[in-house]
């Protein structure tokens, strides 16, 4: 009797505590991202904006380190059955995520289940195409997409007697310009970030050449690299030759070379359009942005460049009510005003047509014509089989192979042809491994 009484008291006590909570029950939505520094602040701002726009859900952004660390953390969390709701995965991890269909939920499906309005056509095709499956289903939300562009130091151009309003359009011009810049006292002509992404992957798309068979992996796991073709040999040979004259200087992996542009050592620099915010903050000279140069003896007009950056994946294994919140949040992120602001402050591409139109009509591009370059370069023509992007499993490791071989070639340890052949040979092995694992999956 006594026990029962105590039990009732205790239960009531918990009820009293829990009541006010359940009245305002907010559901937390975990968003794991890889945006540090200024971008990280912007991400928090986005989450706060959403949280104050409604009271039912609370998006909790968690910085998980760089792209690879974030992806590894997400996967580890999935394996221990505690995945976040939303995981930001860099473009390189896309094929891995796509192959893991049981671990993720396609955003088209999440939106439909939640009854949120969603029109895949609203997204810019050359961006969303990257994250769309073979049967046309949009799998993840292209949150931060960028594409490589040429940055150039206007002050240096003036010093070398070049017109700051006329950046080089072709690689032939880059060579001429670089020589003039060096003659005017600069140590180097140009350098580059992300050498694999910009000088191999994008160079193929930009000249409408295949990087690999099966539409660069979009049409199947049995894709094989083709990068040791004419264009690859030509471009890499030129880089090597230029390096000996300091027309080109290798700045290191990833975007380690950015300091070469900021400290005015190399007045021209190829880097992601998202490098804009960093350069804007750090460079104390005027710089311009121009389209990625192309070889005018290979194509008359270039195709389109391909994207980098990351997309947001919805992870499987959560409650339906929480997915409703996820859908609402993703819609919020895609809304024109938010996207336009994100685009203008970071240099990432606006992902929807409405956001692009909004930026245009606000007169932003009139004042900042450079900021339109990246998007124009992405959307100038319908993407071809060769320019939709790359979809490879084991892509992180394939990039390592590419970095190693390019460094070997640039250091003069092996010939261009040998280096490219090694990329194809070792890269194909990694592709076969991925195919082997995923074949067993599709059989089941």
Partner 1 sequence: MDRQTLFKSSYLPYLLLAPQLLITLIFFIWPACSALLQSMMMEDPFGMESIYVGLDNFYLLFEDNEYIDALEITAIFSLLVCFFSLTLSLLFALLADRIIKGAVVYKTLLIWPYAVAPAVAGVLWLFLFNPTVGIFAYFMQWLGYDWNHHLNSGQALFLVVVAGVWKQISYNFLFFLAGLQAIPRSLIEAAAIDGAGAIRRFWTIILPLLSPTTFFLVVINIVYAFFDTFGIIHQVTGGGPDGATNILVYKVFHDGFLGLDLGSSAAQSVILMVIVGILTILQFRYVEREVHY
Q: Give least dist CB 325 to partner 1, A.
A: 24
Cβ distance to partner 1 smaller for residue 114 or 420? 420
Judged by beta carbon, residue 364 or residue 403, the one nearer partner 1 is 403
d(CA 190, CA 201): 19
CB of 353 to partner 1, least distance (A): 34
Among residues 177 and 250, whose Cβ is nearest to partner 1?
Answer: 250
Q: In the complex, what is the shortest distance from the CB of residue 162 to partner 1, in angstroms, rounded to a whole number?
A: 23
Cβ-contact 191, 261 below 8 angstroms? yes
- Give min distance, CB of 195 to partner 1, in A: 11
In the complex with partner 1, the residue whose CB is nearer, 257 or 325, is 257
- The smaller minimum CB distance to partner 1, of residues 246 and 353, is found at 246
Interacting residues with partner 1 (CB under 8 A): 68, 71-72, 75, 78-79, 96, 99-100, 102-103, 250-253, 256-257, 259-260, 263, 265, 394, 396-397, 400-401, 403-405, 407-408, 410-411, 413, 422, 426, 429-430, 433, 436-438, 440-441
What is the smallest separation between the CB atom of 238 and partner 1, expressed in angstroms?
Answer: 17
Instruction: Tell the smallest beta-carbon distance from residue 9 to partner 1 (Å).
Output: 42
CB of residue 159 vs partner 1: minimum separation in angstroms? 20
CB of 376 to partner 1, least distance (A): 31
Structure tokens at 58: 């609370």
Burial (0-12, 13-18, 19+ Cβ within 10 Å), 301:
exposed
Q: Which is nearer to partner 1, 67 or 365 (CB)?
A: 67
Nearer to partner 1, 6 or 436 (CB): 436
Q: Which residues pair with 105 in a beta bridge?
A: 314
- Name the residue nearer to partner 1 (CB basis): 169 or 246: 246
Residues 208, 266 contacting (CB under 8 angstroms): no
Taking the least distance from each CB to partner 1, the nearer of 135 and 442 is: 442
SS3 of the chain: the string is CHHHHHHHHHHHHHHHHHHHHHHCCCEEEEEEECCCHHHHHHHHHHHHHHHHHCCCEEEEEEECCCHHHHHHHHHHHHHCCCCCCEEEEEHHHHHHHHHCCCCEECHHHHHHHHCCCCCHHHECHHHHHHHECCCCCECCEEEEEECEEEEEEHHHHHHCCCCCCCCCCEHHHHHHHHHHHHHCCCCCCEEECCHHHHHHHHHHHHCCCCCEHHHHCCCCCCCCECCCCHHHHHHHHHHHHHHHCCCEEECCCCCCCHHHHHCCCCCEEEEEHHHHHHHHHHCCCCEEEECCCECCCCCCCCCCCCCEEEEEEEECCCCHHHHHHHHHHHHHHHCHHHHHHHHHHHCCCCCEHHHHHHHHHCCHHHHCCHHHHHHHHHHCCCCCCCCCCCCCCCHHHHHHHHHHHHHHHHCCCCCHHHHHHHHHHHHHHHHHHHHHHHHHHHHC
279 versus 329: smaller Cβ distance to partner 1: 279
Task: Work out how close the CB of 399 gets to partner 1 at its nearest, in angstroms, rounded to a whole number.
Answer: 9
Least separation in angstroms between residue 72's CB and partner 1 is 6
Identify which of residues 127 and 315 has a Cβ nearer to partner 1 in the complex. 315
Strand 308-315, strand 86-90: pairing: antiparallel
Q: How far is the CB of 31 from partner 1 (least distance, A)?
A: 19
């Amino acid at each position: 009797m006594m026990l029962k009484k105590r039990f009732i008291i205790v239960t009531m006590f918990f009820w009293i505590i829990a009541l006010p909570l359940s009245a305002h029950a907010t559901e937390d939505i975990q968003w794991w991202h890889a945006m540090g520094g200024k971008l990280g602040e912007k991400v928090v701002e986005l989450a706060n904006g959403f949280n104050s726009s409604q009271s039912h859900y609370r998006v909790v952004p968690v910085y998980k380190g760089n792209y690879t660390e974030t992806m590894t953390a997400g996967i580890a969390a999935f394996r221990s059955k505690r995945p976040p709701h939303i995981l930001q995965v860099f473009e390189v991890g896309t094929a891995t995520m796509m192959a893991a269909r049981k671990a993720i939920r396609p955003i088209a499906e999440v939106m439909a289940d939640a009854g949120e309005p969603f029109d895949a056509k609203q997204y810019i095709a050359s961006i969303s195409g990257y994250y769309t499956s073979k049967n046309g289903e949009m799998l993840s939300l292209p949150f931060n997409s960028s594409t490589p562009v040429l940055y150039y130091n206007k002050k240096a151009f003036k010093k070398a007697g070049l017109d700051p309003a006329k950046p080089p359009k072709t690689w032939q011009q880059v060579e001429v310009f670089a020589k003039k810049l060096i003659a005017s006292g600069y140590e180097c002509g140009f350098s580059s970030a992300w050498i694999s992404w910009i000088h191999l992957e994008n160079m193929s798309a930009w000249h409408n050449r295949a990087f690999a068979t099966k539409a660069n992996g979009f049409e199947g796991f049995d894709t094989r690299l083709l990068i040791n073709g004419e264009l690859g040999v030509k471009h890499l040979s030129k880089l090597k030759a230029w390096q000996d004259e300091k027309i080109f200087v290798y700045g290191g992996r990833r975007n380690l070379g950015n300091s070469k542009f900021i400290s005015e050592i190399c007045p021209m620099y190829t880097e992601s359009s998202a490098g804009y915010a960093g350069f804007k903050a750090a460079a104390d000279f005027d710089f311009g942005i121009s389209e990625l140069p192309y070889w005018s003896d290979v194509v008359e007009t270039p195709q389109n460049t391909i994207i980098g950056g990351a997309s947001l994946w919805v992870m499987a294994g959560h409650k339906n009510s929480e997915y409703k919140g996820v859908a609402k949040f993703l819609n919020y992120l895609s809304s024109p005003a938010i996207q336009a602001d994100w685009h203008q402050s970071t240099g990432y591409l606006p992902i929807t047509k409405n956001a692009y139109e909004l930026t245009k009509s606000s007169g932003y591009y009139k004042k900042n014509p450079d900021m339109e370059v990246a998007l124009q370069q992405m959307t100038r023509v319908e993407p071809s089989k060769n320019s939709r992007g790359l979809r490879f499993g084991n892509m992180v490791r394939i990039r390592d192979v590419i970095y190693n071989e390019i460094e070997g070639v640039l250091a003069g340890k092996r010939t261009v042809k040998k280096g490219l052949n090694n990329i194809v040979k070792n890269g194909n092995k990694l592709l076969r491994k991925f195919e082997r694992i995923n074949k067993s999956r599709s059989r089941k």
